[in-house]
Amino acid sequence: MIPKTTTYYLRLAVANFIVLTILGLILRYIHITSIGDINYQFLLHAHSHFAFAGWMFFAIALLITNLINKDCLPRSFRSVMVLTLISAYGMLVSFYLQGYKAVSITFSTLFIVVTYRFTYLVFKKKALRNSVNELSFVLIKPALIFLCVSSIGPFALGPLMAMGFKNTPYYQDAIYIYLHFQMNGFMLLAVLGLFASALTVDSLTKSTKAWLNLFVYSTVLLYFIFTLWSSPGILLQLLAVVGAIINLVSWIVLCARFKSVWSDCSALAKAALIAISLKVVFQVFVCYPAIGSWTFSNRDLIIGYIHLLTLGIITPLIIDQILRQGFVSVWPPLNWIYIYTAVAYLALLFLQPLLAQFGISIPDYQLWLFGLSILFLLVGFALLGKVKAVHGSIER
């Protein structure tokens, strides 16, 4: 049975998802109407930083913790969860009030230190290795390494600014180190690892392991896609293309090798796996300069890409894990409402920029995006209600 404290923190994770959705809803609301003196960009910072710490890291870390500690939530892991909450809400408030300044930088730094501490705890005494199957370990281990690597980005910002590089592509590229290694590195591989932990798979053959490693470590080369916006020259472009192609080929091979798993997948997991396939294909297209420059200059496409990762891949796999690990009893309508909402939301973000090439604009575009955001909020409340029910029955 799941420890009571773990269930308690899982409720907090879902509550954070609701808070995150409300922030997104306000951002969308600003597009359709006027609501006084809200600084859109400060709120956007609050939304994105809270998403990384308060929802995705918090939920993923808790689910990994629950694999390692099935009987109780040790104090060391509990302190990680509490400090994550403090840094997440600290960032939420400080980014909203003052943008990227001393207080928000302090909370961001605290968050980075907490991620180091979590990584240490997971590897200490081979805690993870002894708790999960080989496939899961081969994915979660590099995920945590990339989690630590991502912090190179923010730590480089100070020196870059001091050396007068603030207005150069290097400064942006440092920010992208963080974004890329957080999302494509840590989050994506960790949720895949969590997904794998629930599968019954034989021990990996040598060649399967080699393909897995190609898929995992091509992530390093994929970073260079994020530098292509400033046309940095042929070497980086070459590295990006090689990364994108290795990533695509290894993903296809892995899909073929593990195809027997498909029939056991929930609808949520299937949707997420399809979304990964789309992402892996898009990466190759973006390396083509004409498509790349169009993509990088189009805000809806960038927002679409980020949400393809977060709402299309990471969040559904987190919810799938919440169900699989037994925090919530399966309730199929919830899965379907989530899938339809995410597909419609992402389709709008990708379709409008495409249609714009033919001079077509979707009527009430911003209104539709706002309306769909409300559905994400409903999913959050439904999920919270379900977790509560399980928690209640444990106490009785």
Q: Which of 146, 192, 154, 191 is nearest to 174 (CA)?
A: 154
Amino acid at 138: V
Task: Out of 71, 102, 167, 396, name the contact with another protein by CB under 8 A.
Answer: 167
- Can residue 70 be called a binding residue for another protein (CB under 8 A)? no
Which residue has tokens 């925090």?
327
Q: Which stretch binds another protein (CB under 8 A): 107-115, 163-171, 330-338, 339-347?
A: 163-171
Q: Which stretch binds another protein (CB under 8 A): 28-36, 90-98, 173-181, 264-272?
A: 28-36
15: tokens are: 């509550």
Q: Which is nearer to another protein, 288 or 381 (CB)?
A: 288
What does the per-residue mask of binding to another protein show for 265-304, with x meaning CB under 8 A?
A: -----------------------xx----x-xxxxx--x-
Q: Which is nearer to another protein, 130 or 357 (CB)?
A: 357
Kindly state the smallest distance separating residue 132's Cβ from another protein, in Å. Answer: 25
DSSP state for residue 374 in the 8-state scheme? H
Helices and strands: H and E segment counts in the chain = 17, 0
Helix or strand (DSSP H, E) at 92: helix 75-98
- Can residue 231 be called a binding residue for another protein (CB under 8 A)? yes
- Can residue 333 be called a binding residue for another protein (CB under 8 A)? no
- Can residue 329 be called a binding residue for another protein (CB under 8 A)? no
- Can residue 242 be called a binding residue for another protein (CB under 8 A)? yes
Amino acid at 45: H
Q: Which stretch binds another protein (CB under 8 A): 27-35, 47-55, 60-68, 180-188?
A: 27-35
Task: Out of 265, 344, 362, 377, name the contact with another protein by CB under 8 A.
Answer: 362
- Can residue 40 be called a binding residue for another protein (CB under 8 A)? yes
Burial of residue 84 (number of CB atoms within 10 Å: 0-12, 13-18, 19+): buried
Instruction: Measure CA 390 to chain center.
Output: 26
Give the Cα separation of 281 and 275 in Å (integer): 10
268: tokens are: 């949520």
Sequence-ordered alpha helix ranges (H) in the chain: 4-32, 40-50, 58-68, 75-98, 102-123, 134-150, 152-162, 169-180, 188-197, 206-222, 234-257, 267-286, 289-296, 299-309, 315-324, 332-356, 365-395
50: tokens are: 């809270």
- Can residue 130 be called a binding residue for another protein (CB under 8 A)? no
> Footprint of another protein on this chain (CB under 8 A)?
30-31, 34, 40-41, 167-169, 206-207, 210-211, 214, 230-234, 237-238, 241-242, 245-246, 249, 253, 288-289, 294, 296-300, 303, 352-353, 355-357, 359-362, 365-366
